Amino acid sequence: MASTYNINSTFKLNSGYEIPRLGFGVYQTPPPDTEKACLEAFKAGYRHIDSAAAYRNEAGVGDALRASGLSRSEVFFTSKIPTSGVKGGYEATKAQVEKSLKTAGVDYFDLMLLHAPYGGSAARKGAWKALVEAVEEGKLRSIGVSNYGVHHLDELEQHIAELKAERGSGGVISVGQYEIHPWCARNDIIDWFAKRNIACEAYSPVVQGARWGEKTLVKLAEKHGKTEAQILLRWSLQKGLVPLPKSVTPSRIKENAELYDFELSPEDMAELETKEYSPVCWDPVKSELDN
Protein backbone atom coordinates (compact mmCIF):
# COMPACT_ATOMS: atom_id res chain seq x y z
CA MET A 1 0.00 0.00 0.00
CA ALA A 2 2.78 2.43 0.90
CA SER A 3 4.11 2.31 -2.65
CA THR A 4 0.71 1.99 -4.36
CA TYR A 5 -0.32 5.61 -3.91
CA ASN A 6 1.50 8.91 -4.10
CA ILE A 7 0.40 12.54 -3.97
CA ASN A 8 -0.48 12.38 -7.67
CA SER A 9 -2.80 9.36 -7.29
CA THR A 10 -6.33 9.89 -8.59
CA PHE A 11 -9.76 8.22 -8.53
CA LYS A 12 -11.82 8.04 -11.72
CA LEU A 13 -15.23 9.61 -11.13
CA ASN A 14 -18.57 8.58 -12.61
CA SER A 15 -18.36 11.80 -14.67
CA GLY A 16 -15.24 10.41 -16.37
CA TYR A 17 -12.91 12.97 -14.76
CA GLU A 18 -10.12 12.17 -12.30
CA ILE A 19 -10.02 13.52 -8.74
CA PRO A 20 -6.74 13.65 -6.76
CA ARG A 21 -6.97 11.31 -3.74
CA LEU A 22 -5.58 13.99 -1.40
CA GLY A 23 -7.17 17.43 -1.19
CA PHE A 24 -6.43 20.67 0.64
CA GLY A 25 -9.29 22.22 2.59
CA VAL A 26 -9.80 25.94 3.21
CA TYR A 27 -12.73 25.78 5.65
CA GLN A 28 -12.42 28.64 8.17
CA THR A 29 -9.32 29.95 6.39
CA PRO A 30 -9.72 33.75 6.42
CA PRO A 31 -10.04 35.17 2.88
CA PRO A 32 -6.79 37.21 3.15
CA ASP A 33 -4.85 34.05 4.14
CA THR A 34 -6.38 31.73 1.55
CA GLU A 35 -4.19 32.65 -1.41
CA LYS A 36 -1.01 32.21 0.66
CA ALA A 37 -2.15 28.87 2.12
CA CYS A 38 -3.09 27.53 -1.33
CA LEU A 39 0.26 28.58 -2.78
CA GLU A 40 2.00 26.68 0.04
CA ALA A 41 -0.20 23.67 -0.73
CA PHE A 42 0.72 23.81 -4.41
CA LYS A 43 4.39 23.99 -3.41
CA ALA A 44 3.91 20.85 -1.28
CA GLY A 45 2.39 19.01 -4.24
CA TYR A 46 -1.36 19.29 -3.64
CA ARG A 47 -3.42 19.72 -6.82
CA HIS A 48 -6.90 19.62 -5.29
CA ILE A 49 -8.45 22.54 -3.36
CA ASP A 50 -11.76 22.29 -1.52
CA SER A 51 -13.63 25.58 -1.01
CA ALA A 52 -17.29 26.62 -0.70
CA ALA A 53 -19.40 29.73 -1.14
CA ALA A 54 -20.06 29.65 2.62
CA TYR A 55 -16.31 29.86 3.34
CA ARG A 56 -16.17 33.25 1.57
CA ASN A 57 -12.75 32.43 0.14
CA GLU A 58 -13.40 31.19 -3.40
CA ALA A 59 -11.70 34.38 -4.66
CA GLY A 60 -8.51 33.57 -2.72
CA VAL A 61 -8.34 30.12 -4.27
CA GLY A 62 -8.80 31.62 -7.73
CA ASP A 63 -6.07 34.18 -7.01
CA ALA A 64 -3.70 31.42 -5.90
CA LEU A 65 -4.46 29.43 -9.02
CA ARG A 66 -3.54 32.38 -11.23
CA ALA A 67 -0.45 33.30 -9.17
CA SER A 68 0.85 29.73 -9.06
CA GLY A 69 1.94 29.40 -12.67
CA LEU A 70 -0.03 26.14 -12.85
CA SER A 71 -2.47 25.70 -15.69
CA ARG A 72 -6.17 25.60 -14.81
CA SER A 73 -6.37 21.95 -15.87
CA GLU A 74 -3.69 20.96 -13.34
CA VAL A 75 -5.79 21.92 -10.31
CA PHE A 76 -9.01 20.25 -9.18
CA PHE A 77 -11.11 23.10 -7.73
CA THR A 78 -14.25 22.36 -5.70
CA SER A 79 -16.92 24.70 -4.40
CA LYS A 80 -20.31 24.17 -2.80
CA ILE A 81 -23.82 25.61 -3.01
CA PRO A 82 -24.63 26.97 0.48
CA THR A 83 -27.64 25.94 2.52
CA SER A 84 -29.50 29.09 1.42
CA GLY A 85 -29.00 28.07 -2.20
CA VAL A 86 -30.20 24.51 -1.71
CA LYS A 87 -33.24 25.75 0.24
CA GLY A 88 -33.92 28.16 -2.62
CA GLY A 89 -34.04 25.24 -5.05
CA TYR A 90 -33.51 25.52 -8.78
CA GLU A 91 -33.31 29.31 -9.29
CA ALA A 92 -31.16 30.03 -6.24
CA THR A 93 -28.74 27.22 -7.10
CA LYS A 94 -28.48 28.32 -10.73
CA ALA A 95 -27.71 31.88 -9.59
CA GLN A 96 -25.12 30.65 -7.07
CA VAL A 97 -23.20 28.69 -9.72
CA GLU A 98 -22.84 31.92 -11.72
CA LYS A 99 -21.89 33.92 -8.64
CA SER A 100 -19.23 31.41 -7.56
CA LEU A 101 -17.69 31.28 -11.05
CA LYS A 102 -17.49 35.08 -11.09
CA THR A 103 -16.13 35.31 -7.52
CA ALA A 104 -13.40 32.74 -8.18
CA GLY A 105 -12.65 34.14 -11.63
CA VAL A 106 -12.76 30.75 -13.33
CA ASP A 107 -14.64 29.39 -16.35
CA TYR A 108 -15.61 26.14 -14.66
CA PHE A 109 -15.41 24.24 -11.38
CA ASP A 110 -14.12 20.70 -11.37
CA LEU A 111 -16.68 19.83 -8.71
CA MET A 112 -19.75 21.50 -7.23
CA LEU A 113 -21.50 19.99 -4.23
CA LEU A 114 -24.81 20.74 -2.55
CA HIS A 115 -23.45 21.64 0.90
CA ALA A 116 -26.29 20.16 2.98
CA PRO A 117 -29.67 18.46 2.47
CA TYR A 118 -31.79 21.21 4.03
CA GLY A 119 -34.86 22.68 2.34
CA GLY A 120 -37.17 19.73 1.72
CA SER A 121 -37.55 17.32 -1.18
CA ALA A 122 -38.75 19.73 -3.91
CA ALA A 123 -35.94 22.20 -3.17
CA ARG A 124 -33.31 19.44 -3.21
CA LYS A 125 -34.59 18.15 -6.55
CA GLY A 126 -34.56 21.65 -8.04
CA ALA A 127 -31.06 22.33 -6.75
CA TRP A 128 -29.78 19.08 -8.25
CA LYS A 129 -31.46 19.88 -11.59
CA ALA A 130 -29.63 23.24 -11.64
CA LEU A 131 -26.29 21.43 -11.16
CA VAL A 132 -27.12 18.97 -13.95
CA GLU A 133 -27.86 21.88 -16.31
CA ALA A 134 -24.60 23.60 -15.32
CA VAL A 135 -22.69 20.42 -16.25
CA GLU A 136 -24.43 20.37 -19.61
CA GLU A 137 -23.45 24.02 -20.11
CA GLY A 138 -19.76 23.29 -19.35
CA LYS A 139 -19.73 25.33 -16.14
CA LEU A 140 -19.22 22.30 -13.88
CA ARG A 141 -17.38 19.08 -14.67
CA SER A 142 -18.60 16.87 -11.83
CA ILE A 143 -21.34 17.21 -9.23
CA GLY A 144 -22.24 15.68 -5.91
CA VAL A 145 -23.50 16.25 -2.41
CA SER A 146 -22.24 16.85 1.11
CA ASN A 147 -23.74 15.81 4.44
CA TYR A 148 -26.57 13.75 2.87
CA GLY A 149 -27.70 10.79 4.96
CA VAL A 150 -28.50 7.45 3.29
CA HIS A 151 -32.19 8.45 3.29
CA HIS A 152 -31.31 11.68 1.41
CA LEU A 153 -29.12 9.70 -1.01
CA ASP A 154 -31.91 7.21 -1.73
CA GLU A 155 -34.21 10.16 -2.42
CA LEU A 156 -31.60 11.72 -4.74
CA GLU A 157 -31.47 8.52 -6.79
CA GLN A 158 -35.26 8.79 -7.13
CA HIS A 159 -34.92 12.44 -8.21
CA ILE A 160 -32.30 11.46 -10.80
CA ALA A 161 -34.67 8.83 -12.21
CA GLU A 162 -37.52 11.38 -12.31
CA LEU A 163 -35.35 13.99 -14.04
CA LYS A 164 -34.21 11.40 -16.57
CA ALA A 165 -37.86 10.68 -17.39
CA GLU A 166 -38.74 14.40 -17.48
CA ARG A 167 -35.79 15.79 -19.42
CA GLY A 168 -33.68 12.92 -20.75
CA SER A 169 -30.88 13.18 -18.17
CA GLY A 170 -30.80 13.24 -14.39
CA GLY A 171 -27.05 13.63 -14.06
CA VAL A 172 -24.63 11.38 -12.15
CA ILE A 173 -23.41 11.56 -8.55
CA SER A 174 -19.62 11.68 -8.65
CA VAL A 175 -18.65 12.69 -5.10
CA GLY A 176 -19.99 12.85 -1.56
CA GLN A 177 -18.27 14.78 1.23
CA TYR A 178 -18.63 14.10 4.97
CA GLU A 179 -16.96 14.46 8.33
CA ILE A 180 -15.24 11.08 8.60
CA HIS A 181 -12.55 9.91 11.03
CA PRO A 182 -12.13 6.99 13.47
CA TRP A 183 -14.65 8.55 15.88
CA CYS A 184 -17.26 9.10 13.14
CA ALA A 185 -16.56 6.38 10.57
CA ARG A 186 -19.87 6.50 8.65
CA ASN A 187 -19.46 3.02 7.16
CA ASP A 188 -23.09 3.06 5.99
CA ILE A 189 -22.30 6.04 3.73
CA ILE A 190 -18.97 4.55 2.59
CA ASP A 191 -20.72 1.29 1.63
CA TRP A 192 -23.51 3.11 -0.25
CA PHE A 193 -20.91 4.98 -2.30
CA ALA A 194 -18.64 1.99 -2.89
CA LYS A 195 -21.50 0.09 -4.54
CA ARG A 196 -21.94 3.01 -6.96
CA ASN A 197 -18.29 4.01 -7.59
CA ILE A 198 -18.88 7.39 -5.90
CA ALA A 199 -15.79 9.03 -4.39
CA CYS A 200 -16.14 9.72 -0.67
CA GLU A 201 -14.28 12.76 0.66
CA ALA A 202 -13.47 13.23 4.35
CA TYR A 203 -13.53 16.69 5.90
CA SER A 204 -12.11 17.27 9.39
CA PRO A 205 -10.03 14.10 8.85
CA VAL A 206 -7.76 15.02 11.78
CA VAL A 207 -10.82 15.78 13.98
CA GLN A 208 -9.78 19.47 14.26
CA GLY A 209 -7.16 18.33 16.79
CA ALA A 210 -9.83 17.25 19.28
CA ARG A 211 -8.36 13.75 19.70
CA TRP A 212 -4.65 14.53 20.06
CA GLY A 213 -3.25 12.37 22.85
CA GLU A 214 -5.71 9.46 22.43
CA LYS A 215 -3.87 6.33 23.55
CA THR A 216 -4.14 4.31 20.31
CA LEU A 217 -3.32 7.33 18.15
CA VAL A 218 -0.19 8.14 20.17
CA LYS A 219 0.88 4.47 20.09
CA LEU A 220 0.56 4.28 16.29
CA ALA A 221 2.35 7.60 15.80
CA GLU A 222 5.27 6.29 17.87
CA LYS A 223 5.21 2.91 16.11
CA HIS A 224 5.45 4.47 12.63
CA GLY A 225 7.56 7.52 13.51
CA LYS A 226 4.82 9.83 12.21
CA THR A 227 2.67 12.65 13.60
CA GLU A 228 -0.81 11.90 14.92
CA ALA A 229 -2.21 13.89 11.97
CA GLN A 230 -0.29 11.74 9.49
CA ILE A 231 -1.67 8.57 11.11
CA LEU A 232 -5.25 9.85 10.78
CA LEU A 233 -4.73 10.93 7.18
CA ARG A 234 -3.15 7.60 6.29
CA TRP A 235 -6.13 5.83 7.91
CA SER A 236 -8.39 7.91 5.68
CA LEU A 237 -6.46 7.05 2.51
CA GLN A 238 -6.42 3.34 3.35
CA LYS A 239 -10.19 3.41 3.94
CA GLY A 240 -10.43 4.49 0.29
CA LEU A 241 -11.42 8.04 1.23
CA VAL A 242 -10.25 11.38 -0.19
CA PRO A 243 -9.08 13.30 2.91
CA LEU A 244 -9.17 17.12 2.94
CA PRO A 245 -6.71 18.31 5.60
CA LYS A 246 -6.51 22.06 6.22
CA SER A 247 -3.82 24.27 7.72
CA VAL A 248 -2.33 27.73 7.26
CA THR A 249 1.05 26.66 8.70
CA PRO A 250 3.55 25.89 5.90
CA SER A 251 5.31 23.11 7.85
CA ARG A 252 2.00 21.37 8.61
CA ILE A 253 0.72 21.77 5.05
CA LYS A 254 3.87 19.95 3.89
CA GLU A 255 3.73 17.35 6.67
CA ASN A 256 0.08 16.51 5.92
CA ALA A 257 1.09 15.50 2.39
CA GLU A 258 3.92 13.20 3.53
CA LEU A 259 1.77 10.08 3.78
CA TYR A 260 3.20 7.72 1.21
CA ASP A 261 6.29 6.18 2.84
CA PHE A 262 4.49 4.09 5.46
CA GLU A 263 1.47 1.83 5.79
CA LEU A 264 -0.93 1.01 8.59
CA SER A 265 -1.44 -2.72 9.07
CA PRO A 266 -4.97 -4.19 9.05
CA GLU A 267 -4.59 -4.46 12.84
CA ASP A 268 -3.60 -0.78 13.10
CA MET A 269 -6.62 0.21 10.99
CA ALA A 270 -9.05 -1.84 13.07
CA GLU A 271 -7.59 -0.69 16.39
CA LEU A 272 -7.83 2.97 15.45
CA GLU A 273 -11.44 2.86 14.25
CA THR A 274 -14.04 3.14 17.02
CA LYS A 275 -17.77 2.47 17.28
CA GLU A 276 -18.29 6.05 18.51
CA TYR A 277 -20.51 8.48 16.66
CA SER A 278 -18.86 11.72 17.75
CA PRO A 279 -18.83 14.37 15.01
CA VAL A 280 -17.02 17.60 15.88
CA CYS A 281 -18.80 19.68 13.21
CA TRP A 282 -22.44 20.25 12.27
CA ASP A 283 -24.35 17.08 11.39
CA PRO A 284 -27.03 17.57 8.70
CA VAL A 285 -26.67 13.85 7.88
CA LYS A 286 -29.20 13.05 10.61
CA SER A 287 -31.78 15.62 9.46
CA GLU A 288 -35.22 14.42 8.34
CA LEU A 289 -36.28 14.37 4.68
CA ASP A 290 -38.87 17.06 5.37
CA ASN A 291 -36.53 19.57 7.00
The catalytic residue positions are: 55, 115
> Is 71 in contact with 110 (CB distance < 8 Å)?
no
Contact 257, 46 (CB under 8 A): yes
- The sign one gets for the Cα dihedral 6, 185, 264, 43 is positive
Give, rounded to a whole angstrom, the gap between the first and last alpha carbons of the chain: 42
DSSP at 266: H
**In angstroms, rounded to a whole number, what is the distance separating the alpha carbons of residues 166 and 170?**
9
Rg (CA), the chain: 18
Q: How far apart are CA 75 and CA 40, in angstroms?
A: 14
Task: Give the separation between CA 134 and CA 210, rounded to whole angstroms.
Answer: 38
Q: Is 256 exposed, middle or buried (0-12, 13-18, 19+ CB in 10 A)?
A: buried
